[in-house]
Amino acid sequence: MKHAKPGKLSPKMKKTALIALITLAVLAAAALTLHFVNDRQVEFIGLPAERVTVECGSDYAPPEVTAELRGNIFDREGTPLEVELEGEADTAKVGEYELTWSVSYFLGSQSRSCVVEVVDTTPPVITLTPEEREYVLPGTDYDDPGYSAVDTVDGDLTAAVVRVIEDKIATYTVTDSSGNVATATREIPFDDPVPPEITLKGEKSITFTVGEATFEEPGYTATDNLDGDITDKVEVKGSVDNNNPGYYTIRYTVKDSYGNETTVRRSITIRDKNGKVPGDEDSPEVDGTGKVIYLTFDDGPSAYTEKLLDVLKKYNVKATFFVVKTGRVDLIAREAAEGHTVAIHSLTHDYGKIYTSEEAYFADIDAMNEIIKEQTGSYSTLLRFPGGSSNTVSARYSKGIMTRLAKAVEERGYKYFDWNVSSGDAGGTTSTEQVYKNVVNGCAGRKYSVVLQHDIKGFSVNAVEKIIVWGLEHGYTFLPLTQDSPGAHHKLNN
């Protein structure tokens, strides 16, 4: 048997060693290749956050994501990769949706994910139909004008609306399926503008002769549309002295729980045994002598009224003052004390206020009558409409109001007066002489003359003495207006 020399490899051993060496080289190369391949990274560009929240119903589109493969030796510049998107977010439905962006490459793949949460944080919308009524009577079921509720997710939620009424506020509330709450409110015009009604038993105007009869209250009732029978709330002011001839007024006032007030009046005339009332002895309505002048003055008292009163006192002539609230209301007391008739014209003389409604008119004259009561001790039942009953300016504020008021004042116990002789001092002239001519020419030939002047016009007051002198020289009697005097009513134009 032959043995190899020491230090030398046999051919077989050399072959085996070479194969081993080659194998090791191949394995090393493969390992090195795998190292560099596995060392490459994918860079995703434009990825959203891991969790995204979007509002239900909104337009949401996933971002455009790109990817590049990068490594230490290979793909140093970045190799673009094709990105695939899996999943979809349904923004019409509340929930969570997963979106995944993936790439694949030689010997590898990578992916990134995002959770899209679709939420509903938008409350429903409540729409109220406007309330067009001026008032709704309290204590009645509220006839709601209407409402609707719509939600972006749930759709029509009108049927789910809950309405609660507290005092004058109606609150509408609705909740959607996500718990979002919507609220709307409206103020209900709960009000009762309807005044109560007072019905007088017996006659509104009573006349009798002293000693032949006496006045005994015939009675009254009061009812309200909401309060019902409120007769026990009626306040009665005024008294009648059955033994003294004169004019008396009983005033009945009642107020409902909403502050609406109604006043009616009863007029009582007591004549003496000769059929006359003191102060009316020379009245043509009593003795038929005729030729009477009623001097009347509107819009005072004023700075000129004292001078006018001095002239009237000088000739012992009585006149009528249709007064308003001025800075000299103290002169109303003197007018009454000196035997003149104090009558109502207006508190404000503001057409835009007093002619908007019957209630507004009576509120105005009632307030003026309170001033007259304070100054004279009694209320007046005589009045003159601002602008006269024939005025047309009132039509701007309420059609037909003068026709209604002419009837209403008489139903409440008043008597209204226009005029049949105008002095022209309300715009026709500023001349004292012309005022005098207008008055005397207007009175000439008349059985009775109701003269219109204004004691706020100095030039008109200056004509009064000359008018009186003319009247006395021509056989006229000057008297103050009373309930029995002619009204000289104009034609109603509204």
DSSP letter string over 218-250?
Answer: --EEEEETTTEE-GGG-EEE----TTS-EEEEE
User: Which domain, by its residues, includes 130?
Assistant: 125-187
β-bridge pairing 292-298 and 448-454: parallel
β-bridge pairing 220-224 and 147-151: unpaired
Q: Helix axis angle, 358-376 relative to 401-411, nearest 10°?
A: 40
What's the gap between Cα 57 and its chain centre?
40
Q: What CATH number does the domain containing 353 carry? A: 3.20.20.370
Q: Which residues pair with 490 in a beta bridge?
A: none
Last residue of one domain, picked from the residues 119, 145, 160? 119
**Residue 14, in any domain of the structure:** no
Cβ proximity of 296 and 322 under 8 Å: yes
Q: What CATH number does the domain containing 106 carry? A: 2.60.40.10
- List phi, psi (to 5°) of 439: -75, -50
Q: How far apart are CA 115 and CA 49, in angstroms?
A: 9
**Residue 107, in any domain of the structure:** yes
Q: Are residues 202 and 259 in the same domain?
A: yes
Q: Are residues 409 and 307 in the same domain?
A: yes
What's the gap between Cα 420 and its chain centre?
42
**Residue 359, in any domain of the structure:** yes
Straight-line distance from the first to the last Cα atom of the chain, in angstroms, rounded to the nearest whole number: 157
Q: How far apart are CA 330 and CA 326, in angstroms?
A: 9
pLDDT at 286: 33
Q: Are residues 269 and 292 in the same domain?
A: no
pLDDT at 39: 56
Q: Are residues 238 and 365 in the same domain?
A: no
**Residue 69, in any domain of the structure:** yes
The answer to whether residue 298 is catalytic is yes
Number of other residues whose CB lies within 10 A of the CB of residue 183 = 10
Q: How far apart are CA 476 and CA 470, in angstroms?
A: 9
**Residue 4, in any domain of the structure:** no
pLDDT at 106: 83
Q: What is the pLDDT along the chain (494 residues), one digit of tens a residue?
A: 455 555 566 777 777 777 777 777 666 555 545 555 555 688 999 999 999 999 998 999 999 999 999 875 555 677 899 999 999 999 999 999 999 999 998 888 999 999 999 999 999 999 999 999 888 998 888 999 999 999 989 999 999 999 999 989 999 999 999 999 999 999 999 999 888 999 999 988 888 999 888 999 999 999 999 999 999 999 998 888 999 887 787 889 999 998 888 888 787 888 888 877 664 433 333 333 358 999 999 999 999 999 999 999 988 899 999 999 999 999 999 999 999 999 999 999 999 999 999 999 999 999 999 999 999 999 999 999 999 999 999 999 999 999 999 999 999 999 999 999 999 999 889 999 999 999 999 998 788 899 999 999 999 999 999 999 999 888 888 999 998 888 788 999 99
Q: Which residues pair with 116 in a beta bridge?
A: 52, 97
Q: What CATH number does the domain containing 183 carry? A: 2.60.40
Residue 358 DSSP SS3: helix
∠ CA 468-375-315 to the nearest 5 degrees? Answer: 15
**Residue 31, in any domain of the structure:** no
Among residues 86, 91, 79, which one has the least CA distance to residue 41?
79
pTM reported for the whole predicted model: 0.46
Q: Are residues 393 and 304 in the same domain?
A: yes
Q: Are residues 133 and 113 in the same domain?
A: no
pLDDT at 474: 86
Would you state the structure tokens that stand for residue 382, as one six-digit string?
A: 């005589």
Number of other residues whose CB lies within 10 A of the CB of residue 413 = 21
**Residue 205, in any domain of the structure:** yes
How many domains does the chain fold into? 4
Select which of 192, 345, 364, 454 is catalytic. Answer: 454
**Residue 22, in any domain of the structure:** no
Q: Are residues 115 and 214 in the same domain?
A: no
Q: Are residues 94 and 241 in the same domain?
A: no
Q: Are residues 213 and 86 in the same domain?
A: no
pLDDT at 280: 47
pLDDT in tens, 284-304: 333 333 589 999 999 999 999
Q: Are residues 165 and 312 in the same domain?
A: no
Last residue of one domain, picked from the residues 241, 257, 278? 278
What's the gap between Cα 441 and its chain centre?
51
The answer to whether residue 489 is catalytic is no
Q: How far apart are CA 364 and CA 355, in angstroms?
A: 10
Q: Are residues 175 and 50 in the same domain?
A: no
Q: How far apart are CA 210 and CA 228, in angstroms?
A: 39
Last residue of one domain, picked from the residues 222, 245, 278? 278
Indicate the residue type of 97.
Answer: Y
Cβ proximity of 334 and 168 under 8 Å: no
Q: Which residues pair with 67 in a beta bridge?
A: 44, 81
pLDDT at 277: 67
Q: Are residues 220 and 158 in the same domain?
A: no
Would you state the structure tokens that stand for residue 152, as one six-digit string?
A: 């972006």
pLDDT in tens, 401-431: 999 999 999 999 999 999 999 999 998 899 9
Select which of 192, 224, 298, 299 is catalytic. Answer: 298
